[in-house]
Amino acid sequence: MIELLSQRPNAMKWQKYSADILPLWVADMDFAPAQVIQQAIAEASQDLGYQLPPEWADEQVVRWLASEHNCHIEPSWVVWQGGVISGFNTALASVCQSGDEVVVPTPTYPPMRQAPVNHGARCVEMPLEYIDGIWQLNLDKLANQLARPQCKAMLISNPMNPTGCVYQQIGEISKLCHQHNVLLVSDEIHADLVLAGKAHDSALHYNTDHLVVLMAASKTFNIAGLATSYMICPNAKLRKRVQKAGAGIAGHANVLGVMATATAYQAAKPWLNEVKTLLTNNLSVLNRWQETQDSLISYPVNATYLAWMDWRQLTDTPYPHLLSYGIALSDGAPFGAPGWARLNFACSSDTLSQALQRMQQAIEAL
């Protein structure tokens, strides 16, 4: 049975706005973590001194990736980190110098648009296009960009945040990056939250010489506050280079986060199955409401708990308008898409119902 977090006194999601605002913005869930995870954290907290990630944790990552994603990796490929943002920043730092270029498909998670700039590189945004029911890149344009000598890396969110979809072109992207000696950095933090009968296509299924994959249990099991993730890098020389780039800058993963991740992979799959059922039910409610809207353009969601909405036929500034009606979505502008908004449906059915009622009122007022 999934426990709803009705009171979240310290949660950023609920405390950013006043109590009369329904928060459906930042990507965490209003569901308590599985009891087995909470118990593991309590036990691990008995020793909070300096610790190394146990081999047992690496083994659980290896087992989980094999069973859930048909990815077969070696324990030595796993490097624990303090979150995927530090992960993709250290990966870029390992290959980028001032004046270099990094390809970033947009719309995307805002820190990804900033990451190249953090290292003196230029963020080359490449728009995703919705064609034949699929968010996709123009591969000819991508090939031309990757062929530029100053292009050193490509940074992707896979599955896609904010569009809520699995990538359909990972094989082609991986091949092009390998062909042009470009580092592919694939943030796969939402990999375990694929819905609607789809399957996650990891970059680990393809060429691995020029690859860094970033994963975590944080979104899947709602433990993002533990700030723990892991990098998977099959190429030993590249792995050492990335680790060196992060030395003294990127912090280590904390022991509670490592133990929570390993325990989740070992014993919390039943909880995840229940959560995905709840998400699927909420998505069905959201889809039915969207079907009644003529001017609000929405797109099918098959991964994550994030819905991407095009409000431009109604207003160029949906975020402040919706806020005035008591609902906080994520503004599309930081994702590279002004006039859009992202809705987080990982909440109770009552919260979602209230939010849809308020959005309906907001639409009728335009």
67 burial (CB, 10 Å; 0-12 / 13-18 / 19+) is: exposed
Q: Quote the radius of gyration of the chain (alpha carbons, Å).
A: 20
Region 356-365: mean pLDDT is 98
Q: E strands within 177-315? A: 183-187, 211-215, 229-232, 297-298, 306-310
3-class state of residue 159 by DSSP:
coil
Q: What is the pLDDT of residues 225-244, one digit of tens each?
A: 999 999 999 999 999 999 99
Mean pLDDT of the chain: 96
Residue type, 345: F
Label residues 174-193 b or e (16+ Cβ within 10 Å = b).
Answer: bebbbebebbbbbbbbbbbb
| Equal fold, 12-32+269-364 vs 37-267 | no
Q: What is the pLDDT of residues 85-137, one digit of tens each?
A: 999 999 999 999 999 999 999 999 999 999 999 999 999 999 999 999 999 99
- The domain locations on the chain are 12-32+269-364, 37-267
Tell me which of 3.90.25.10, 2.10.10.90, 3.40.50.2300, 3.90.1150.10 is the CATH number of domain 12-32+269-364.
Answer: 3.90.1150.10
Going by CATH, does the domain composed of 37-267 fall within 3.40.640.10? yes
- What residues contact 70, with CB distance under 8 A and at least 6 apart? 205
Q: pLDDT class for 1, splitting at 50, 70, 90?
A: confident
| pLDDT given at position 241 | 97
- What residues contact 311, with CB distance under 8 A and at least 6 apart? 296, 318, 339, 340, 341
Beta-bridge partners for 342 = 308, 330
Give the Cβ contact number of residue 341 at 10 Å.
29
Region 341-351: mean pLDDT is 97
CB 202 within 8 A of CB 191: yes
